[in-house]
Chain A
Amino acid sequence: MKKDTLKSYLINLLAIVVLFIIMKMLISNGVLNRYYVGIIVFIGVNIILASSLNIATGFLGQLALGHAGFMATGAYTSAITAMTLIDRGVALPNSVILIISLIAAGTVSLLVSLIIGIPSLRLRGDYLGIITLGFGEVIRVFINNIKFTGGAQGLTGIPMLTTFDNTFWITVFVIFVLYTFTNSKHGRAIISIREDEIAAEAVGIPTTFYKVLGFSTAAFFGGVGGGLYAHYLAFLDPNIFGFMRSVEILVIVVLGGMGSLTGSIIAAIVLTILPEALRDFAQYRLLIYSFLLVAMMIFRPQGLFGTAEFSMKMFLHKLRHNQIISPRKEIKDGD
């Protein structure tokens, strides 16, 4: 079993490295210009945001409507941390400053999530949905009204630390951490709460602890995603992080499949490219979103992938045997 798993890790790593090299080559050839690189960075950010929200919504089964709030918390924390570091003249390479800022961003988001998560997750039911809904707005209004975030005028002068390279590897790292996390005993405990909270408690799972753990993990990586975003835009306006932003992230999660990280990745790619491709019809974007969602609920209520994961190993196996790939197929542990 272990040897098999090692093999599948290597296959995945190889696939990722090949993808990286191909994209690198396309960029240096000029096939992918700066505009496309920007979209790729946003895809990375959206993957991080959606897969982190998927932990809370898909794996834990708690409705969270304020992911943009954590994104904002992370974005501003990260931006201010990096600006302070550079102002103080700390001589560190850009990537190190970025990593420090992102860790700060995640940590602050995590602390904030504990404040709202601990009281609301002790209860059973949809209280978290209401509280996070309110939280998203509170954060936005808060940032709008304090000085050191630049208020409504926005925060300018943020160092541009996000590049294609670091976005790519940070995204890979985040997905790896979330995947291994959900496939451990802690992830199992979180999934058991989604399946049946009362039963989970009756077999000895401390449900409040795991609910808070799942929710704050989501918040941590939501903050990281926000930080990455801030260092690419180099300018932050509190109104980017409105309720609609939370909904957009949630739509990615629902579309990809609640409980499937690979589903979130695919959906994040599609739903980042789609609005760009449909620029000319920008005013219809929300219309298309709602249409997509309605169609999804009718034809495939579990999302693109349901709770299954796409795996390289299965894919290669299928290719060799000339079969059509079906993402619904059950896969074994550790793939």
Chain B
Amino acid sequence: MALLETKDLTMQFGGLTAVDNFEISVDKDELVGLIGPNGAGKTTIFNMLTGVYTPTEGSIHIGGKNAIGKTPYQIVKLGGARTFQNIRLFKDLKVIDNIKIAYHHEVDYNILNGVFRTKKFWQGEKKAYEEALEFLKIFEMEDYADTLAKNLPYGKQRKLEIARALATKPKILMLDEPAAGMNPQETKELMETIHFIKDKFDIAILLIEHDMNLVMGICERIVVIDYGKIIAKGTPDEIKNNPDVIRVYLGE
């Protein structure tokens, strides 16, 4: 079974069908793009996949397990991690603490250990610190470990958000418009980061994006939706030449 699989996924808000019979299957080492005009329902799909909304109908499986009716933190435990369209970092905390928080479940001690500073606490904290630092090294951000997250440049903030999502050890990483608000240079770096993640970690990536250079440049498969319905699926080349996609989204 694929790492992420949805069937007949439908979301209705009152009389409005925001997403209609959406089906997608993303496998290990795959990078799939989800595109469509504004209001097509992309973020609604993300919110269903990450447990923010409960779909009206349909099924979602992450890593072979049912993900319907789960809260966002339970989805994280199943192996679904996400980033947000407008970056959501723990701004007033240090970069390394941002990562440590994502390690929450890995650090193994209870409240009493923490309050009375037992050996288990020190071991747990040491491990969390070392692993978080190791993680920052992978992303070449160890020099920023003690910087407050809000003081990072924009591109680095996005990178940290992605790193933090990966620190939860996900099976599938969902990126919601990672290039939003970036200049061409930052977008280029972001593409390299995403490529690197795909090589380094054994995960599937699902990506929403409006930046066509980025989508066409890195996605292996693309799904196009409009008014909540899938209108095309295929490789970047097929999508570029699909008349429906050109009409509703890319423009002639």
Contact = CB atoms under 8 A, between A and B. Distances in A.
A196 interface: yes
A30 interface: no
Nearest to B76: A204
Given A201-B72, A204-B104, A195 B114 contact: no
Contacts of B105: 204
Interface string A175-190: 0010011001111110
A258 to B, nearest CB: 11
A200 interface: yes
A35 B27 CA distance: 74
A185 B114 CA distance: 8
A204 B102 contact: yes
A188 B111 contact: no
Contact of A180 (B72, B81, B116, B167): B116
Contact of B88 (A177, A181, A202, A205): A202
B10 interface: no
A205 B71 CA distance: 11
Contact of B101 (A177, A205, A206): A205
A2 interface: yes
Interface residues of B, number: 40
Given A181-B114, A202-B84, A2 B168 contact: no
B115 interface: yes
A202 B72 contact: yes
Contacts of A206: 71, 73
A188 B84 contact: no
A53 interface: no
B42 interface: no
Contact of B107 (A1, A177, A185, A191): A185
Nearest to B90: A195
Contacts of A2: 122
A198 interface: yes
What 3 pairs across the A-B complex have the smallest Cβ distances? A184-B114, A204-B76, A195-B90
25 contacts: A1-B126, A181-B114, A184-B109, A184-B115, A185-B128, A186-B111, A187-B114, A188-B104, A189-B104, A191-B93, A196-B89, A196-B90, A196-B91, A198-B84, A199-B90, A200-B101, A201-B73, A202-B50, A202-B72, A202-B73, A202-B88, A203-B167, A204-B105, A206-B73, A213-B111
